[in-house]
Structure 1
Amino acid sequence: MLSRVGWISEVGLLTAFITITGTFKLPGLLPGTEFQLSAPLAVAICAVFGFGKYITAGVLSSVIGLILGTQSLLNVFIAMVFRGVVGMIIVLFGNSWPIIVLAGPAGSAAARLALGGFIGKAAIPLLLAALPGMMYTALLAWPLTVLLKRIKEHKGR
């Protein structure tokens, strides 16, 4: 069990990881198909550090993005749908590798469908544009989970 200072420190570091990786996007071949590096990291954070730290770090990251002007309210809406779905899947089904691999793409799909509903535009093209990023997230989430588990096990030594 972490002390209050330890918990705050861990959440602060996780917030920084999400915020910084969220600023990096790998370009796609078509507009709207870019891949945000924070997606697989967020899945790994939820799996390793639990939903409470994950959602707290995610909300703080969104607040920082709003303050810095790097995110809009629409970006935060999409991110929160992603976080909610990923968190719900991991909380309900556990953190085995198949769940970790599927949670990110499910969160991305839900976020794109919610965006389509919110803006009143066809959600299917939005979903199709997200497919490359979903594949990257599925491929990277498990290795990042393993890495974060190793780091967490070795902290303080």
Structure 2
Amino acid sequence: MSTFKIREISEIALLAAFIAVSGAFKLPSFIPGSEFQLSAPIAVAICGVFGIKKYLLAGILASAGGLLLGTQTIFNVLIAMFFRILVALLYAVLGKTKIFYLLSGPVASSAARLALSLFIGKAVYPLLAAALPGMIFTALTSGLFASVLEKTLNLTKRVYERS
């Protein structure tokens, strides 16, 4: 196996761990009961920096890990994958632009809430209202997380090229 393949597999595994661990962190909101996961802006940033293939593979691995550990249900995974696929589609359309970082999280989160409302038979508006602080946070921080990931990726590439 080439060193490039080993490096790529390791990178995807680390991204999966990053998504899984960041999903465990719930950030409080000013609306009671509407805390949100830190993983949404990180997921958008990963898609923008590493591309669709690595993003989706890392997301699938993170969800599989959550299922194996019992921290997620099939239902959680379906909603998360719906979010991930929409982010990937928006990346395919918009590319690595500021508009992508601003819109993809809120659009994908809104669509995931709509899908959730169809699954559980509840009104979509309360679900959207509860997710609104997280959507705003994701829109504002995805680009920041992406710039940190981009700098980290460039640094590791330089170190790899020297060795």
Provide the TM-score with structure 2 as the length reference: 0.92
In 1, Cα distance between equivalents of 2:107 and 2:26? 19
The residue number in structure 2 matching 1:30 is 32
Which aligned segments of 4 or more residues in structure 1 are displaced greater than 2 angstroms?
none
- The 5 A counterparts of 1:36-115 are 36-115=37-116
**1:11 to partner: Cα distance:** 0.1
Letter in 1 for 2:32: L
Identity rate, percent: 50
Unaligned runs of 5+ in 1: none
Could you tell me the TM-score, scaled by structure 1's length?
0.95
- Alpha-carbon displacement from aligned partner over 1:28-70 (angstroms, at most 9, x marks no partner): 3322x11100100000000000000000000110010011111
Unpaired runs of 5+ in structure 2? none
CA contact (8 A) 1:35 1:136 kept: no
Q: Does 2:146 match 1:140?
A: no
Calculate the aligned-residue CA RMSD, in Å: 1.1
- The aligned counterpart of 1:126 is 127
Q: 1:124 offset after TM fit, Å?
A: 1.6
Query: Could you tell me how far apart the structure 2 residues matched to 1:98 and 1:92 are?
Result: 11
Matched residues in 2 for 1:124 and 1:63: separation? 30
In structure 1, distance between residues paired with 2:24 and 2:150: 24
**Distance in 2, Cα, partners of 1:12 & 1:114:** 28
Paired residues in the alignment total 155
CA contact (8 A) 1:48 1:145 kept: yes
